[in-house]
Structure 1
Amino acid sequence: MDFWDSPQHGGNSFNRLPPDQAYFHALSGYGASWVRLSYDKWKPAQRDFLLGNADRYEALPTSDLKQLRDTLDRAHTAGLKVVIAPLSLPGMRWSQNNHGQFDDRLWQDADYAQQAARFWRDLARELRDHPAIAAYNLVNEPAPEKYGGLAEHASAERMQQWYARERGGARDLPALYTQLIAAIREVDPNTPVMVDAGWFASADAFGYWQAPLQDDRVLYSVHMYEPYAATSAPNLLRKDPISYPGPAPFGGKSQQWNAERVSQYLDLPLAWMARMRLPHSRLVVGEFGCMRRLPGCTEYLEDVLSVMDRHRLHWAFYSFREDNWDGMDYELGSAKVPWRYWQAIEQGTPDPMERRATAEFEPIRRRLAD
């Protein structure tokens, strides 16, 4: 846990191919200390990588586990710590692996929570002694609230009312985390766990949690893409894209977004940490970013990073050299990628693009190098 006692800065790896040694050396070469690693896009032995099948978890597929271990070895060789971040759990298959459909089964049926606990117990048993592992991020961007009757970015009062109704049921996210951590601790008493807030790790979604989790090796994580209407891919398709800084839809109404509003929004998880008497060293901004081709993206990154600088937070930018989506690959600058990038995806071959330090990447590069 002492790794997390001082600010750690890194990047997200959500690649379709397991990253090679050059990839990890490049990230480490910029000054990163950790990588948040997702494996759900890798070719699985069965239906779902490492789970076998998210419809019914039985055991860890041996060949999937070997791919993961080999990748961890490469990260360790590059001097990087790794946070494992599954996008799927039993009964919660990641939508992009689920024909674009949100999978709500985990949040309806307690049997899937039991399967998820078995999965994490098995995985922790296998990885507990690997020197690269810095934390287990129990699941990426959970959203038990989505079909549970709670609007995104609802008021704190409304969130608390909703949780009072759902507490103890299948949509009780703190209860699920408690169950998963208990399973991990049966085989691994030491490795830290990282837990995302609800509503896809929204920075305001810890607001309904009434207490911290009862484990002294927990890191609390939020993701920062707000205002999503301005930072995300659909904005590029608008005839007149929403600008940053400027007014943008949020929580059902238009709000002015700028450095001050970014700071106010990120103050919400900080205020929750203070109420829970938890230090800033236990808060992580596990993802943040904006579409690199949008005017104002560099200013947005600077505004978000400035808040994290001020509070000495851990962070991982989204994303580093992603080989199946170029939207937030800042080393590519602001130009469109050529056809050979998409052709490599179709053919399942390695990413052919060369990367470099660009103006779009500069707010991140400068801080990694500090």
Structure 2
Amino acid sequence: LNGSWRASAGVSVAATAQNSAAFVVGASVRTADGQVRTITTVKPASGALSVFMDGPVLDGNLVGYPNKLSLVDAPTPLPAAPSDPIAEVTPPAIEPVQLVGVALSGAAFGPSILPGKHGTNYIYPAESYYKKYAEQGLKLVRLPFLWERIQPQLDTELDAAQLALLTRSLDFAQKHGVKVVLDMHNYYRYYREPIGSENVPIRSFANTWKLIAEKIGNHPALSGYGLMNEPNTKGLWPEAALAAAKEIRKVDRTNWIYVAGDRFSSAWHWPQSNTQLIADPWMRDPENRLIFEAHMYLDRDTSGLYTDKTETFAPDLGINRANPFVVWLR
């Protein structure tokens, strides 16, 4: 919250040379609300330093940006150069991740005709949609696309026409202040063959995401990468998710990575279907900027088809369906 960690006593400060020299383990700092704490750990993180201190969790409303964090003393004090003082630092403004938005379908239409023809079998949403939802306060778009269209042949360069369409979509979003999650809407398949099979190795899936990140990762409208929509793999997904996320991080250390869950990402079934998703410590490291993505449908079989038109719904059904995922996150 405002550059202050929610689960630990820590804040983020700009990773300047002065701050790196000053904020070291053992140094004492004074927070904006007057507390004096001792630094226990310092970790670099995407242009910032995560400074962790002893004591309970800090209140980001009191000590976070734009409040100041002051250096009280350091274990080995050195005189500061007159032109380069180290007195007070302001934690950088960390833009909160936007989690309320809308899915703009179109680019994943016509999955039975691959790669298909733009404007006939599928479309990319027009600028008017980004404008419309931005005016309604929905500043996040989940943009589905198909792997077979961005890369019609496995292990080759990305399709230039599709990249242009994706980039144009991001340009529309940027114009209207909207962030975009690129959602590979393939249900863990490539031309109907599962990822991890002999013809579609996991390394090919991971490398495709690396190529996408290389081409689009610097766009200011990008929120992050949705690795896969609703995988249903009976245990194969954790290896593929880890591989793809690591490949992205080789070229993009900033944008979020959205990690769906197995069994169609069902929030209700999440704990039993994703026992190995974070087995690797890399998937639990906050420095890797991962967001876990669950889906929830309220019909009886959780399919989202709502075939029984007479079905009724308890007022707290949504809470109960989401709860297993929330407990897992904690």
Do they fold alike, i.e. is TM over 0.5?
yes
CA distance in 2, matches of 1:31, 1:124: 27
Are residue 78 (structure 1) and residue 176 (structure 2) matched? yes
- The secondary structure found in structure 2 opposite 1:49 is helix
Give the direction of change, closer, same or farther, for the CA distance of 1:144–1:112 in structure 2 (3 Å limit). Answer: same
Q: Does the C-alpha gap of structure 1 residues 108 and 140 become closer, same or farther in structure 2, counting only changes over 3 Å?
A: same
Q: How does 1:222-301 map to 2 (within 5 A)?
A: 222-227=294-299, 229=301, 232-233=304-305, 235=307, 241-245=309-313, 258-274=314-330
- Choose between structure 1 and 2: higher helix proportion: 1
The alpha-carbon distance between structure 1 residues 174 and 134, as it changes in their structure 2 partners (threshold 3 A), is same
Q: Describe the SS at the equivalent of 1:58.
A: coil
Aligned to 2:16: none
RMSD: 2.5
What are structure 1's unaligned runs of at least 5 residues?
41-46, 146-170, 246-257, 275-370
Please give the TM-score of this superposition, normalised by the length of structure 1: 0.53
Identity of aligned pairs, percent?
20
Q: What one-letter code is carried by the residue in structure 2 that aligns with 1:11?
A: V
User: What residue number does 1:92 align with?
Assistant: 189
Alignment match, 2:292:
220
State the distance in 2 between where 1:92 and 1:21 align. Answer: 30
Q: Does 1:23 align with 2:112?
A: no
Q: Deviations over 1:164-218 (max 9, x none)?
A: xxxxxxx432221111111111111111100111111111343143536144200
* Residues 80-126 of structure 1: per-residue CA shift (max 9 Å, x gap): 0000001138x713xxxx6xxxx352143485211111101100001
SS in 1 for 2:275: coil
> Which of 275, 278, 291 is the equivalent residue of 1:209?
275
**SS of residue matched to 1:201:** coil
Q: How does 1:167-182 map to 2 (within 5 A)?
A: 171-182=235-246
Matched residue pairs, number? Answer: 215
Greater relative contact order (Cα < 8 A, sep 6+)? 1
CA distance in 2, matches of 1:128, 1:228: 40
Q: Work out whether residues 224 and 256 of structure 2, in 8 Å CA contact, stay in contact via their aligned partners in 1.
A: yes
Give matches, 1:4-43, under 5 Å. Answer: 4-5=96-97, 8-15=99-106, 16-40=122-146
Partner of 2:113: none
Report matched runs for 1:346-357 at 5 Å: none
Q: Which residue of 2 aligns with 1:52?
A: 152
By how many angstroms is 1:14 displaced? Answer: 1.2
Whichever structure has more strand as a proportion of its residues is: 2
Residue 134 in structure 1 maps to residue 223 in structure 2: yes
1:230 Cα deviation after fit = 8.1
Distance (whole Å) between structure 2 residues aligned to residue 92 and residue 106 of structure 1: 6
Per-residue deviation, 1:244: 2.3
The code of the aligned residue for 1:218 comes to L
Whether 1:144 and 2:233 are equivalent positions in the alignment is yes
Tell whether the 8 Å contact from 1:50 to 1:64 is kept in structure 2 after alignment: yes
Alignment pair present for 1:63 and 2:169: no
- Output the CA distance in 1 between the equivalents of 2:268 and 2:101: 23
